[in-house]
Amino acid sequence: MDASQLLKGSKIFLHVAVGVAALISAAAAIIYAFQLKADLDSLEKYSIIFGSLATAAGVFGIALTVYIYGNQLRTMTKANELESILTVFRYIEDPGLRKVRWFVYHNHPIIFNDLPDVPLEEGWPIIDNKVRSASKEKFNLHEVDLVLNSLNDIAYLINTEHVPEKLIRNFLKHTFRRCYLSYKPYINYRKTHPIPGLDKDSSRYAHHLEEVIRRIDPSLLAE
């Protein structure tokens, strides 16, 4: 259970606790009204009333504790969200990853078109040679693949609500669209050519990234 779920639970419990306290207070008032007509002695009347009020006070105390706990959870949630946002920008602004990303933007037709229909262990060195040739040995396929993995990690943070989706829509939409279009042939290749013994379901390769694309521009998935 993450912080957001705990926060929702604390809010629900707070409302329930306040409601219970209100019911107990109302019950105490009703009991007092009936007892005014009864022949109970004053000590017994007041003991019942004070007992009810003490119970109500206890419930209010629990409600107050839950309220304080809820505020702490909200603070923790905001702190975690901020840390996740900083992580996203560290990925995006990393100088090494950014250089590779721009290389892919401008060279993806060369390195990703006409990918060989062979197992990945055979296809990897072929694609790697394309990357090395197009970059004049500045980059390799591992670095190109790392950029895609970093975007998929960012997409995971968005899909799990650790990062607000508006961050993508307001600041990174163009980056995600351009990267997905550049990497799409490679993503499709990896989906149909799993790593033996490692890819349990290669059809889900980069699925976090595709889920974000489905939200911001689903037409790209159909192209």
pLDDT digits (tens, 9 = 90+) for 122-136: 999 999 999 999 999
12-16, 22-26, 208-212: which has the minimum mean pLDDT?
A: 12-16
Is a pLDDT exceeding 60 seen at residue 153?
Answer: yes
Cα 150 to the center of its chain, rounded Å: 15
Contact between residue 126 and residue 116 where contact means Cβ atoms under 8 Å apart: yes
Mean pLDDT of the residues in the chain: 77
User: CB atoms < 10 A from the CB of 90, how many?
Assistant: 11
DSSP output for 61-107: HHHHHHHHHHHHHHHHHHHHHHHHHHHHHHHHH-HHHHHHHHHHHHH
74-124 per-position pLDDT tens digit:
555 565 666 667 777 777 888 999 999 999 999 999 999 889 999 999 999
Q: Tell me, what's the pLDDT at 7?
A: 47
**Extents of the domains making up the chain:** 3-78, 94-222
Q: Tell me, what's the pLDDT at 165?
A: 79
| DSSP letter (8 states) at residue 202 | G
Mean pLDDT of 46-64: 62
- 10 Å CB burial of residue 94 (0-12, 13-18, 19+) is middle
Q: Tell me, what's the pLDDT at 3?
A: 47
